[in-house]
């Protein structure tokens, strides 16, 4: 009996503490380790398909973002004009070397929740180069980051994500790396290493976080759904405790009886305009913990573009505007045009692709304009014109060519397109909602797919 | 085999040591991962995350510092991999569809136990200092009481007394929430 069993018994918990059979874990681990290098590589490839997908997405975007080779820690992570963040950019190159590689942190920027880096790995031998450019280089352990815990004690390993950038050099690969500062760190230093180098070879990156503003909210209202079709958001009020903004991120502390309900805030800019959460933010991470019957969540969103906080006057949460300067909140004008709505789900445009979206229905429900000329459509919303042509994977967004994953096509007289054609261009969120249906067998449940759920 | 010895054997490439580490740390990592991903995550997901942690341990074996032991490394890796999983696919539904492997626990009972575990863990965290840390390190991390007491500036008898009071407090808190089996405080 473990001590946890004893505690469980002392507090008279139901049955026994949930635990896993270590034999099953051993079987999984030994199956991978005993499977031979080729099979293990496949396993790793599966896990990192999202990284490769992100790299592929960058490669086909055809935007200035992908065309630039001269990355810095801001342009590698944020869209648009990144000059606003130059005050927070540390451009000093720091590197370590062993007999195979030079690992360099070429620049960094940080706030209190995230560190953004551009790193490069340069091979110093032909053998090292062959591995550097092989599929095996991308794994869970390619890069890691550590920091000294706030109590001054042990080194904490921190969560880390990365995607590849264009290098333009024959012996070098470059990556955009973001590190989550889940644990308070001391000493203002993060240690970053490449897992294929000698032990002890690590780069010390000093951290000077960009300042942030926290707005206490402590209000409840109706949130929006994410992926799951249930529950009805009105039936599970969402409480937003506080919102912290930095030039790079927006963090929200929330509480709700459902983990499927998310905040949908808006921003009042100093010029009086309103920008929505979908226009400004993308969800980066969420940590949920259960306290009694409610999930306490810490949600971290990243701004699409670096923000000048002096140009945001307030956050609009539910029906109130909360000024960033700490003054009293005032009632906000409701805007029905910004409420979520649904759009008909259409079949995929290609085998293996996701569901497609009806172009006209989406545009008109958003309140935009739709004009069709044969198999070409011009859709305009938020002053951004998207021109689509049935059969062509190239779309025009305000006259700029953008490659789509699939070509739009006519479906029963309706022009259907991949949803990505609109989400970036118009700053909207879109997902096809699902719910569990009948059980197929012990492990599988039938999934019922609903219509598109759009958050303007 | 103590932590340092296990880490040293692992760094020498011992698969036996890896299997011993899996036996020794799976219960602890289960609480770490479930706490991070939330009680609605399925047992299979948690099992997969923990397997990944041990695979990462094996990959890192040459870089382990035996003097630092394994537990803190494993806990950090488990938290990170659990957070990565949440980023990739947040737990989206209550897994009443998840059949118990043992067969002796119904899916409802299984879920009830996981929910209770989450609430218990939260209640431990909510204990006033230093009791929260004391209870967590003693019951969840299975550290020696004399080591915890020393770190917290307590005598061993005082630490024992605080543990007793903390257990009572936890039972009281959980019962008030209607979650413990007992209806009497």
Nearest CA in chain A to B58: A33
pLDDT band at A411; cut points 50, 70, 90: confident
Q: What is the CATH number of the domain that holds A448?
A: 3.30.457.10
- From B37's Cα to the closest Cα of chain A, the distance in A is 7
Q: In this structure, is residue A23 part of a structural domain?
A: no
Q: How many Cβ atoms from other residues are within 10 Å of residue A263's Cβ?
A: 24
Domain boundary among A206, A241, A272: A206
Cβ-Cβ contacts under 8 Å, A432 against chain B: none
Give the containing element (helix H, strand E) for A419.
none
- From B56's Cα to the closest Cα of chain A, the distance in A is 7
Rounded Cα distance between A145 and A205, Å, is: 10
Name the nearest CA neighbour of B123 among B26, B33, B35: B35
Average pLDDT over residues B49-69: 83
Rounded Cα distance between B116 and A18, Å, is: 9
A348-352 long-range contacts, Cβ below 8 Å, gap at least 24? A348/A406, A349/A406, A349/A407, A349/A408, A349/A409, A349/A416, A349/A417, A349/A418, A350/A406
pLDDT tens digits along A293-313: 788 888 889 999 999 999 999
Contact A72, A93 (CB under 8 A): no
A50-53 long-range contacts, Cβ below 8 Å, gap at least 24? A50/B88, A51/A138, A51/A162, A51/A163, A51/A164, A52/A138
Rg of chain B in Å (alpha carbons): 18
Three-state DSSP at A152 gives coil
Q: In this structure, is residue A258 part of a structural domain?
A: yes
Partner residue opposite A11 with nearest CB, options B30, B48, B120 = B120
A65 and A187 together in one domain = yes
Rounded Cα distance between A228 and A140, Å, is: 29
A187 and A219 together in one domain = no
CB contact under 8 A, A20 and B122: no
Nearest CA in chain B to A146: B76
Domain boundary among A163, A180, A206: A206
- From B26's Cα to the closest Cα of chain A, the distance in A is 6
pLDDT averaged over every residue in chain B:
78
- From A199's Cα to the closest Cα of chain B, the distance in A is 5
CB contact under 8 A, B113 and A33: no
Rounded Cα distance between A10 and B181, Å, is: 11
A219 and A197 together in one domain = no
Q: How many domains does chain A have?
A: 3
Q: In this structure, is residue A75 part of a structural domain?
A: yes
More confident: B129 or A47: B129
Contact B167, A11 (CB under 8 A): yes
pLDDT band at A394; cut points 50, 70, 90: very high
A259 and A280 together in one domain = yes
Cβ-Cβ contacts under 8 Å, B77 against chain A: 157
Nearest CA in chain B to A295: B38
Q: How many Cβ atoms from other residues are within 10 Å of residue B90's Cβ?
A: 23
CB contact under 8 A, B58 and A287: no
Is 50 exceeded by the pLDDT of residue A241? yes
Complete domains list, chain B, with CATH: 3-88 (1.10.1740.10), 107-176 (1.10.10.10)
Phi-psi region of B46 (alpha: psi -120 to 50; beta: other; left: phi over 0): alpha
In this prediction, what percent of chain B has a pLDDT beyond 90?
A: 3
A43 and A178 together in one domain = yes
CB contact under 8 A, B35 and A289: yes
Q: Give ipTM to 2 decimals.
A: 0.74
- From B77's Cα to the closest Cα of chain A, the distance in A is 7
Q: In this structure, is residue A8 part of a structural domain?
A: no
A46 and A186 together in one domain = yes
CA distance to A55, A285, A336, A429, A441, per residue, from A276 (Å): 27, 19, 13, 10, 42
pLDDT tens digits along A338-389: 999 999 999 889 887 888 999 999 999 999 999 988 788 999 999 999 999 9
Best of A2, A15, A29, A49 to disrupt the B interface (most B CBs within 10 Å) is A29
A54 and A201 together in one domain = yes
Q: What are phi and psi of B54, to 5 degrees?
A: -70, -30
- From A225's Cα to the closest Cα of chain B, the distance in A is 11
List of residues 6+ apart from A426 with CB closer than 8 A: A366, A368, A381, A382, A384, A386
Average pLDDT over residues B20-49: 83
A323 and A251 together in one domain = yes
Q: In this structure, is residue A99 part of a structural domain?
A: yes
**B79-B80-B84 Cα angle (round to 5):** 120
- B13-22, B41-50, B165-174: segment of lowest average pLDDT: B13-22
Rounded Cα distance between A199 and A111, Å, is: 29
Cβ-Cβ contacts under 8 Å, B46 against chain A: 20
Cβ-Cβ contacts under 8 Å, A32 against chain B: 51, 55
Q: What is the pLDDT of residue A442?
A: 67
- From A454's Cα to the closest Cα of chain B, the distance in A is 19
Contact A93, A105 (CB under 8 A): yes
- From B104's Cα to the closest Cα of chain A, the distance in A is 11
pLDDT tens digits along A270-284: 999 999 999 999 887
Query: From the centroid of its chain, how far is CA B101?
Result: 20
Cβ-Cβ contacts under 8 Å, B122 against chain A: 289-292
Nearest CA in chain A to B145: A3
Strands (E), A344-428: 357-358, 369-373, 376-381, 384-389, 394-397, 400-403, 409-411, 414-417
Is 90 exceeded by the pLDDT of residue A267? yes
Best of A4, A11, A136 to disrupt the B interface (most B CBs within 10 Å) is A11
Rounded Cα distance between A296 and A252, Å, is: 11
CA distance to A1, A249, A280, A427, B122, per residue, from A384 (Å): 64, 25, 16, 10, 47
Strands (E), chain B: none
CB contact under 8 A, B51 and A29: yes
Rounded Cα distance between B129 and A109, Å, is: 35
- Residue contacts between A and B (CB atoms, under 8 Å): 182
Distance between start and end Cα atoms, chain B: 41
Rounded Cα distance between A274 and B138, Å, is: 52
Q: In this structure, is residue A51 part of a structural domain?
A: yes
Cβ-Cβ contacts under 8 Å, A260 against chain B: 92
Q: How many Cβ atoms from other residues are within 10 Å of residue B86's Cβ?
A: 19
Q: What is the pLDDT of residue A61?
A: 36
pTM: 0.60
A231 and A108 together in one domain = no
Cβ-Cβ contacts under 8 Å, B184 against chain A: none
A86 and A129 together in one domain = yes
Q: In this structure, is residue A384 part of a structural domain?
A: yes
Q: In this structure, is residue A311 part of a structural domain?
A: yes
More confident: A242 or B40: A242
Rounded Cα distance between B54 and B71, Å, is: 12
Rounded Cα distance between B131 and B139, Å, is: 12
pLDDT band at A151; cut points 50, 70, 90: low
- Domain of A295 in residue numbering reads as 213-335
Cβ-Cβ contacts under 8 Å, B147 against chain A: none
Cβ-Cβ contacts under 8 Å, B30 against chain A: 18-20
Is 50 exceeded by the pLDDT of residue B6? yes
Domain boundary among A206, A221, A250: A206
Burial class (CB in 10 A: 0-12, 13-18, 19+), A386: buried
pLDDT band at B98; cut points 50, 70, 90: very low
A236 and A311 together in one domain = yes
A244 and A191 together in one domain = no
Rounded Cα distance between B85 and A159, Å, is: 11
Q: What is the CATH number of the domain that holds A177?
A: 2.60.40
Is 80 exceeded by the pLDDT of residue B106? no
Rg of chain A in Å (alpha carbons): 24
């Amino acid at each position: 009996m473990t001590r946890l069993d004893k505690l469980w018994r002392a507090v008279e918990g139901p049955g026994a503490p949930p635990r896993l059979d270590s034999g099953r874990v051993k079987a999984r681990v030994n199956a991978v380790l005993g499977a031979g290098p080729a099979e293990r590589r496949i396993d790793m490839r599966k896990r990192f398909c999202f990284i490769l997908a992100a790299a592929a997405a960058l490669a086909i975007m055809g935007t200035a973002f992908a065309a630039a080779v001269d990355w810095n820690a801001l342009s590698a992570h944020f869209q648009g004009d990144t000059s606003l963040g130059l005050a927070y950019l540390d451009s000093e190159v720091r590197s370590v070397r062993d007999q195979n590689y030079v690992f360099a942190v070429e620049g960094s920027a940080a706030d209190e929740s995230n560190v953004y880096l551009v790193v490069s790995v340069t091979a110093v031998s032909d053998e090292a180069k062959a591995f550097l450019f092989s599929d095996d280089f991308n794994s869970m352990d390619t890069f890691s980051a550590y920091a000294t815990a706030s109590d001054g004690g042990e080194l904490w390993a921190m969560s880390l994500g990365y995607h590849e950038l264009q290098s333009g050099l024959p012996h070098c690969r470059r990556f955009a790396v973001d590190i989550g500062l889940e644990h308070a760190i001391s000493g203002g230093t993060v240690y970053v290493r490449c897992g294929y180098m000698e032990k002890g070879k690590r780069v010390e990156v000093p951290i000077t976080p960009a300042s942030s503003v926290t707005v206490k909210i402590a209000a409840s209202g109706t949130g929006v759904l994410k992926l799951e079709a249930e529950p009805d958001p009105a039936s599970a009020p969402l409480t937003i405790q506080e919102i912290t903004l930095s030039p790079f991120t927006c963090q929200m502390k929330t509480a709700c009886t459902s983990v499927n309900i998310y905040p949908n805030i808006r921003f009042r800019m100093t010029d009086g305009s309103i920008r929505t959460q979908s226009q400004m933010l993308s969800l980066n991470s969420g940590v949920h913990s259960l306290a009694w019957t409610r999930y306490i969540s810490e949600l971290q969103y990243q701004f699409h573009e670096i923000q000048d906080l002096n140009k945001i006057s307030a956050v609009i949460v539910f029906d109130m505007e909360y000024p960033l300067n700490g003054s009293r909140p005032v009632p906000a004008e409701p805007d029905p045009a910004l409420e979520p709505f649904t759009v008909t789900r259409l079949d995929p445009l290609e085998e293996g692709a996701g569901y497609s979206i009806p172009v006209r229905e989406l545009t008109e429900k958003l309140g935009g304009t739709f004009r069709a000329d044969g198999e070409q459509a011009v859709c305009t919303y938020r002053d951004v014109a998207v021109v689509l042509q049935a059969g062509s994977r190239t779309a025009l967004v305000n006259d700029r060519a953008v490659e789509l994953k699939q070509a739009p096509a006519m479906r029963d007289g309706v022009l259907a397109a991949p949803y990505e054609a609109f989400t970036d261009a118009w700053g909207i969120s879109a997902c096809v909602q699902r719910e569990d249906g009948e059980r197929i067998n012990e492990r599988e449940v039938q999934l019922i797919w609903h219509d598109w759920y759009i958050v303007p | 085999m103590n932590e340092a010895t296990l880490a040293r054997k692992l760094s020498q490439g011992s698969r036996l040591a890896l299997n011993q580490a899996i036996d020794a740390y799976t219960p602890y990592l289960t609480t770490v991962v479930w706490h991070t991903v939330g009680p609605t995550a399925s047992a299979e997901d948690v099992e997969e995350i923990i397997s990944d942690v041990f695979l990462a341990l094996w990959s890192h074996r040459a870089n382990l510092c035996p003097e630092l032991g394994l537990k803190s490394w494993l806990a950090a890796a488990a938290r990170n991999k659990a957070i990565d999983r949440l980023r990739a696919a947040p737990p989206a539904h209550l897994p009443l569809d998840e059949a118990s492997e043992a067969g002796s626990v119904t899916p409802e009972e299984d879920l009830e136990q996981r929910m209770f575990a989450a609430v218990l863990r939260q209640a431990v965290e909510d204990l006033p200092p230093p009791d929260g840390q004391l209870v967590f390190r003693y019951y969840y991390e299975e550290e020696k009481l004399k080591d915890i007491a020393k770190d917290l500036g307590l005598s061993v008898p005082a630490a024992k007394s605080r543990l007793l009071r903390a257990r009572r407090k936890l039972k009281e808190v959980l019962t008030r929430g209607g979650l413990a089996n007992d209806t009497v405080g």
